[in-house]
Structure formats: structure tokens, C-alpha cells
Amino acid sequence: MTSPASSSEVKYLIESSEGNTFDVSGAALRQSNTFNAMFLNIGADGPIPFTDYNEATLKKVFEYCEHSVNEENYSGPKHQDDLSKWDLNFFNEMDQKMFIDVINASNFLDIERLTSYCCERIARMLRGKNTQEMIKVITLPTAEELEAKQKVEEKKAAAAKKVAEKAAETAEKTETLEELPVQQLVQTTRNKLTRKYLSFSNE
């Protein structure tokens, strides 16, 4: 693993849910606020585990980041009509499953530009439609799917609560961040970011 110098040539190893690793440039990775909050200043020994997402999804997300490295700083969502040809191709070539995985991964990695464009793309599919028209563009979940989702969410909430409690406990005991397991650090920081975001949105 390389050291986290600010040079764009620095490469980081990313680990996917399959356990596969691949390179991502520091410049691309720095578009992820989650990464910035966790690793930018402290570095990481070994691959950075983003193991909630598969290799194809992560590669797609970082493909976008690599492409937008030289774009000017993000200043809020653009109208879809203002997207470049490359952006449009990028979105159009994804199937529905990949698109949703990319939204979720981008949200987890807190890549503002990509998350915003993806969300706006879906909003555009829905905007101005009545319920009947909407049913044609969205897949309605079955009762079983809803039930399964509810169970997953309950489990996730319980797990997140445990992690948060453990992290708070560990943070009190641990003086340095390096002593925290990386995945836990990811989760803890993400939780903090999420809480911060939610607290702003509630104001």
C-alpha cells in the first residue's frame, strides 16, 4: 500500500465484496468524502475494504471519479441536458441493477457529484408523472419483497446500533485512530457523516 501523499500519482488498493483488489488513483479517490474523512491524513496499511460493494460497481464508480478528476469543483447538480456526452454514455450503458448499485455505492462513498447526477436522473424519470404513469417506470415491490426489506432494515438498524455503541466504546479506550479496524472506521465515520447530514437537513 502506498503512503497517502497528496500527489495524484499515488495509487490506492481497493478491496471489493468478492475480496478482489484493484488500483484507484489518489485524485479519483479524493472525490469520496468518506475516503477523505478516513484515510487522507492517516493512510491505510493494505487494501481499503469497501466490501459492501462488488468489484464491477466499485470500478464503475471510480471510473466516473477518474474521469471527473480534472473537472472543475462540484458546484451543485447540473441539469441533465448540461451533461457531457461522456456522462450520458456513462449513465446510459448501465443496466438498472448496476445503476442502483452505483447510486448506493456513491452514496456510501459520499461522492457528491455522482450521487447528485444519479438521483437527478431518477427524479427526472418521475417528475410530472401521475401515479398510473409512474407505475410504468418503477418496479413495485411485492408484499414478500417489502417484508424482506423491512427485516433487513431492522437487522441493519440493530447492527448499526451495535457498531455505533462499540465504536463509541472503542473511541473512548483508543487514543489513536490507527488502532481501530478499518471497516469499523469506515462505518463509524460514515455514521458520523450521515448523522451530520441528517442533522443539517432537519434544521
- The correct pick among 41, 46, 88, 129 for binding other proteins (CB under 8 A) is 129
Cβ at position 85, least distance to other proteins in Å: 18
- If the CB atoms of residues 25 and 52 are measured against other proteins, the closer one turns out to be 52
> x-or-dash pattern for other proteins, window 180-199, by CB under 8 A?
--------------x--x--
Q: Is 152 in the site for other proteins (CB under 8 A)?
A: no
Q: Is 3 in the site for other proteins (CB under 8 A)?
A: no
Rounded CA separation 43/163 (Å): 22
Question: 167 in helix, strand or coil?
Answer: helix
Question: Rule CB under 8 A: which of 161-180 touch other proteins?
Answer: none
Question: Rule CB under 8 A: which of 37-96 touch other proteins?
Answer: 77, 95-96
- The correct pick among 145, 165, 169, 178 for binding other proteins (CB under 8 A) is 145
Rounded CA separation 15/18 (Å): 8
Number of residues that bind other proteins (CB under 8 A): 39
- If the CB atoms of residues 43 and 77 are measured against other proteins, the closer one turns out to be 77
- If the CB atoms of residues 140 and 176 are measured against other proteins, the closer one turns out to be 140
For 103, residues 6+ apart whose C-beta sits below 8 A from its C-beta are: 115, 118, 119, 122
3-state secondary structure 24-93: EEHHHHCCCHHHHHHCCCCCCCCCEECCCCCHHHHHHHHHHHHHHHHCCCCCCCCCHHHCCHHHHHHHHC
Among residues 83, 106, 137, 99, the alpha carbon closest in space to that of 32 is found at: 106
User: Which run of H or of E encompasses 14?
Assistant: strand 11-15
The CA-CA-CA angle for residues 58, 56, 115, to 5°, reads: 40
Q: Which stretch binds other proteins (CB under 8 A): 59-67, 82-90, 111-119, 158-166?
A: 111-119
- List of residues contacting other proteins (CB under 8 A): 77, 95-96, 99-100, 103-104, 106-108, 115-116, 118-120, 122-123, 125-131, 133-141, 145-146, 149, 194, 197, 201
